[in-house]
Amino acid sequence: MLNKLKIVNDPVHGFIKIPYEILFDVIEHPYFQRLRRISQTGLLSLVYPGSTHTRFQHALGATHMMFTALETLKMKGAEVSPEEEQAALLAILLHDIGHGPYSHALESVLMNDCHHERLSLLLMEKLNEEFCGALDLAIQMFQGKYPRRFFNQLISSQVDVDRLDYLKRDSFYTGVAEGNVNTQRMISMMNVHNEELVIDAKGIYSIEGFFAARMFMYWQVYFHKTSSAAEHILVKALKRAKQLVARGERLTATENLGYFLHKSKFDKMTLEDLQRFTELDDSDIMFGLKSWQGHSDFILSYLCKAITQRHFPKNIISERPFGEELVDKIIQKTNMFYKIQNADWLVDEIERTFLPYDAEKQTVFLKNKSGEVFPLEKSESQILTQHLKIQNTKYILSFPREISSMINQDLKK
């Protein structure tokens, strides 16, 4: 019992209470403080200027959602011990601790596709040592090894508190109202049945609304053609830098970024890898991009300026693939225009696929007043679920703005 309740101001949820001491201690750890310098939505602020929030805020917000969800479940009769509550809060607080700079974007480049969830686990285990095993239960829950499955489902499922927070938060900061999830209502509809997370049947529209909001956020924000292209360019800039370094060229970079530019094998993660990773944040990347703007390699310089000066490529979106032939033709024209031979770095067809509700992989279950439990897609009241089970794919063709007039004819065919 705390005599002084710690609270954090949060523009999205109002106030966030930190109900256990160990949560503070983890928050104060440099691993966690680093999240203050990692933007939640990568380069999205180049498209939606308001979107400057960080992983730090999201982690606190998701923790708050977890706290609220557990309060609700307890009021509905679920037994949750203080140890379980603390563990669940720790697990969600740390679920993104393994995110590198600019979030998802650079996982594939910096550490050869080492997924952030694996890194999150490694860092949680490291923290667990420092905290003498106090994170044991949290790690079990995070890994889905704890027998009461609803804890893991609150951390990671189609209706988890991670999504609740990031959708609401990203909607708030981008100003895209279509994604404004009614988190309070969603949580108040949660329930536990046979240790599994279920949703009260009368909350059917809330879930459908939640899935629809998520779909809008994906297509209008995350997969927005300019956002998609910006992220793509960032990845390519780093790849190009890594390639140049591999060829022996010198690139200005912070010490830690330099380390990752030079290293290519991460099959076995070393202690140094991990340590240096925890010192990397958005400012290392931004410093690199700013330095390389003037680099003699045309490709690298072009990609870096695209970001730092917001000189974006031209992007066209379509329901159908553009085809290799067209892409090749544009590459050749770009080569000609710039008198280069590697314009494949500047022209792309980007594919984006989204399935709002993956009924097969992970069914959402409803529970009606009589206690019956059935899949969302069997509900008599559904108004949107059938549509939300359909996967959608879009294609983005991205090429230098400068050659637009040269290829207008090709595009019309």
Show contacts with its own copies in window 342-371 (CB under 8 A): 369
Contact call for residues 69 and 183 (beta carbons, < 8 A): no
- The gap from C-alpha 294 to its chain's centroid, in whole angstroms, comes to 31
Q: Which of 113, 125, 175, 351 binds its own copies (CB under 8 A)?
A: 175
Q: Does 332 bind its own copies (CB under 8 A)?
A: no
**In sequence order, which ranges of 263-297 are alpha helices (DSSP H)?**
271-277, 282-292
Q: Which stretch binds its own copies (CB under 8 A): 55-63, 267-275, 333-341, 399-407?
A: 55-63
| Enclosing H/E stretch for 93 | helix 82-93
**Binding positions for its own copies, 256-285, rule CB under 8 A:** 279, 281-284
Q: Measure the CA–CA gap between 13 and 59, rounded to whole angstroms.
A: 13
Amino acid making up residue 217: M
The two structure tokens encoding residue 244: 């140049």
Minimum CB separation of residue 146 from its own copies in Å reads 23
**Binding positions for its own copies, 66-85, rule CB under 8 A:** 72, 75-77
**Binding positions for its own copies, 140-169, rule CB under 8 A:** none
Minimum CB separation of residue 74 from its own copies in Å reads 9
Which of 18, 141 has the CB closer to its own copies?
18
Q: Does 302 bind its own copies (CB under 8 A)?
A: no
Amino acid making up residue 180: N
Minimum CB separation of residue 299 from its own copies in Å reads 20
**Binding positions for its own copies, 107-126, rule CB under 8 A:** none
Q: Which of 8, 122, 269, 350 binds its own copies (CB under 8 A)?
A: 8
Q: Measure the CA–CA gap between 356 and 120, rounded to whole angstroms.
A: 25
Q: Does 392 bind its own copies (CB under 8 A)?
A: yes
Determine if residue 195 is left, alpha or beta; phi over 0 gives left, psi from -120 to 50 gives alpha, anything else beta.
left
Site map (CB under 8 A) of its own copies, residues 9-38, x = contact = xxxx-xx-x-x--------x-x--x--xx-
SS3 276: helix
Minimum CB separation of residue 51 from its own copies in Å reads 9
Minimum CB separation of residue 48 from its own copies in Å reads 5
- The number of C-alpha atoms within 13 Å of 359 and in the hemisphere containing its C-beta is 15
**Binding positions for its own copies, 88-107, rule CB under 8 A:** none
Q: Measure the CA–CA gap between 137 and 195, rounded to whole angstroms.
A: 17
Minimum CB separation of residue 254 from its own copies in Å reads 6
Amino acid making up residue 204: I
Q: Helices H, strands E: what count in the chain? A: 19, 9
Q: Which of 24, 115, 177, 272 binds its own copies (CB under 8 A)?
A: 177
Specify the residue for token string 């983890």: 26
Contact call for residues 331 and 343 (beta carbons, < 8 A): yes
Q: Does 128 bind its own copies (CB under 8 A)?
A: no
Q: Does 57 bind its own copies (CB under 8 A)?
A: yes
Instruction: Choose among 67, 104, 113: nearest CA to 264.
Output: 113
Which of 309, 341 has the CB closer to its own copies?
309
Q: Does 4 bind its own copies (CB under 8 A)?
A: yes
Which of 317, 350 has the CB closer to its own copies?
317
Long-range contacts, 32-36 (Cβ 8 Å, 24+): 32/56, 32/59, 32/93, 32/94, 32/97, 34/278, 34/279, 34/281, 35/59, 35/96, 35/97, 35/99
Which of 72, 342 has the CB closer to its own copies?
72
Which of 84, 279 has the CB closer to its own copies?
279
**Binding positions for its own copies, 186-225, rule CB under 8 A:** 188, 200, 205-206, 208-209, 212, 215-216, 219-220
Q: Measure the CA–CA gap between 141 and 244, rounded to whole angstroms.
A: 42
Q: Which stretch binds its own copies (CB under 8 A): 8-16, 93-101, 111-119, 157-165?
A: 8-16
Minimum CB separation of residue 273 from its own copies in Å reads 18
Minimum CB separation of residue 3 from its own copies in Å reads 5
The two structure tokens encoding residue 346: 């500047």
Q: Does 393 bind its own copies (CB under 8 A)?
A: no
Count of residues in contact with its own copies, rule CB under 8 A: 84
Minimum CB separation of residue 221 from its own copies in Å reads 10
Angle at 18 between CA 12 and CA 23, to 5 degrees: 120
Angle between the 204-217 and 161-174 helix axes, to the nearest 10 degrees?
50
Instruction: Choose among 327, 339, 340: nearest CA to 399.
Output: 327
